[in-house]
Amino acid sequence: MHLLNVYFFLFSISVVQSFSNKNHTNNWAVLVDTSRFWFNYRHVANVLSIYRSVKRLGIPDSQIILMIADDMACNPRNPRPGTVFNNADQHINVYGDDVEVDYRGYEVTVENFVRLLTGRLPPGTPRSKQLLSDEGSNVLIYLTGHGGDGFLKFQDSEEITSQEMADALEQMWQKQRYNEIFFMIDTCQAASMYERFYSPNILAVGSSLVGEDSLSHHVDSSIGVYIIDRYTYYALEFLEKVNPQSDKSMGEFLKVCPKSVCISTVGVRKDLFNRNPDNVPITDFFGSIRPVEVLCDLSNVTLLQSKQLSQEEAFKPKKYRYIDPIVNFNTIKS
């Protein structure tokens, strides 16, 4: 009897294991730039770098939620309108010719961000502004902006604390809105933002430890400000070499910016994550690779005949007309 119990116990464990190890079915990305004003150009370049990479690796625009707090590409101060570059040599136009920003300007608020993650959006919110993820979704969350110990500033006027962030993710987990999360943050004291996470299946990486500043990479003299942050610059450099078929792992991505180049220490938190990052393909979070099964047995679908005839029978000619383009002043005057 005991033996049977143990057997059942083991069986259930293995079922749970296989469930937790099951592959994800879809990919989502939430990319947030929280800084406004021209001198924060680099944060927009950061977030667009990641946007470019995930889009290139196959996540469609409908599954990328891009939040940008200010307009840099068409800013009057931008000497090259309609572009945002990742370096002064203008190697990569990270803004590109095909970009869809879902939340922009004043819409980038803590409230909207938390509502987006937890799915508590007001009725009538368009699909492009919703995170319609499910229990099979791998979600990449990327944040950049100005942070401190335990908070991240939004638009220089409000901030989200690490506790609020952790609670939002827990709510996501409880609502089965993700399978795994890769949380990536490029701010000062970035590690403080993920310290309070307590929900499972989260892999977190931050550009700096608590007490450290995260540094920017270089200045573009024609733009007049720093153009990109170090951590994201090297992350983009790495991601540019990745293609949807490549076998690079998350473990490699976590080592993308050693202290010698980043100056700050990149913080990683793996304890909530079930898998070994070295065995996780980078495309699990940055791409959208789906196993496709081709069905050979075709089913015949008969075309639905619309009731057009009866409509035409009921059709009665009406007399339509254009009205005067402007109100008749003579009738008003009299």
Partner 1 sequence: MKCLIVSLGILFICHLVHSYEGTITEELLIKPLYSEQVYTHFQFSTKWDIDPDKETFRHSPLFPRPLGEIVQRFDIQELHVTLTSGLWRYEKWGYPVKDAATGVEVLAWFKPGSDVDKNWKLLANSLSGLLCASLNFIDNTNTIKPEFSFRPRGILESNLLNNSYVRYANLPHEIVCTENLTPWKKLLPCDSRTGLASLLNSGHIHNTRYHSIGLHLRPVCRDKSCESMSLELQQTVSLVYDYLILGTKNWSLRKLFGQGINRKCVLVSKSDVYVDTTNQDIELEPPPDETVTSVRGGQVTTLQKYIVSNQFLNIYAKFQNADLVSLNLPPPLHANQYLSGYGQERGGIVTKIYNNHWKQIDVVLMQNIPWFIPIYLHTLKVTADGRDIKPIQLRYIPARQRERPTYLEVLLTVPARTATSVVIDFDYVFLKWQEYPPDANFGFHIGSAVISSYLPVARNYTAVPWDGSLISDSFNASRSGYLVEVRTENLIITLPTPDFSMPYNVICLACTVVALAFGPLHNITTRKLILKSKRKVLLIERIKKFLFSLKKTKTE
Where in the sequence numbering do the catalytic residues fall? 146, 188
Q: Which residue in 2, 3, 89, 98 binds partner 1 (CB under 8 A)?
A: 98
Nearest distance in Å: CB 334, partner 1: 10
What is the spatial distance between Cα 173 and Cα 133, in angstroms, rounded to a whole number?
Answer: 11
Nearer to partner 1, 292 or 327 (CB): 327
Chosen residue from 155, 207, 216, 232 binding partner 1 by CB under 8 A? 155
DSSP 8-28: HHHHHHHHHHHHHTSPPSEEE
10 contacts partner 1 (rule: CB under 8 A): no
User: With CB under 8 A, what is the number of residues at the site for partner 1?
Assistant: 46
Q: Which residues pair with 44 in a beta bridge?
A: none
Q: Contacts with partner 1 in 157-196 (CB under 8 A)?
A: 157
| Cα 304 off chain centre by | 40
Does residue 100 touch partner 1 according to CB under 8 A? yes
CA distance 183 to 167: 14
Task: Rule CB under 8 A: say whether 318 interacts with partner 1.
Answer: yes
Q: Please report, as residue ranges, which positions from 112 to 131 form the binding site for partner 1 (by CB under 8 A).
A: 124-129
**207 near partner 1, rule: CB under 8 A:** no
User: Is 326 one of the binding residues for partner 1 (CB under 8 A)?
Assistant: yes
* b (16+ CB within 10 A) / e for 82-101: ebbbbbeeeebbbbbeebeb
Q: Is residue 291 a contact residue for partner 1 (CB under 8 A)?
A: no
| Site residues (CB under 8 A) for partner 1, limited to 11-40 | 36-37
Nearest CA-CA partner of 31 in 134, 131, 127: 131
CB 69 within 8 A of CB 34: yes
Calculate the dihedral angle through the C-alpha atoms of 70, 74, 79, 82, rounding to the nearest 10 degrees: 120
Of 72, 79, 135, 132, whose CA–CA distance to 104 is shortest? 72
**Least CB distance to partner 1 at residue 175 (A):** 22
- For partner 1, the closer CB: 164 or 237: 164
The binder of partner 1 chosen from 2, 271, 295, 317 (CB under 8 A): 317
**Secondary structure (3-state) at 148:** strand
Nearest distance, CB of residue 66 and partner 1, angstroms: 9
Please list every residue from 68 through 97 that binds partner 1, using CB under 8 A.
69, 71, 73-74, 81-83, 95-97
Q: Does 4 bind partner 1 (CB under 8 A)?
A: no
In 212-310 the beta strands, taken as DSSP E runs, fall at 216-220, 225-229, 267-269
Q: Is 50 helix (H, G, I), strand (E, B) or coil?
A: helix
Distance separating alpha carbons of residues 52 and 313, to the nearest angstrom? 54
Q: Which residues bind partner 1 (CB under 8 A)?
A: 36-37, 69, 71, 73-74, 81-83, 95-102, 104-107, 124-129, 155-157, 311, 315, 317-327, 329, 332-333
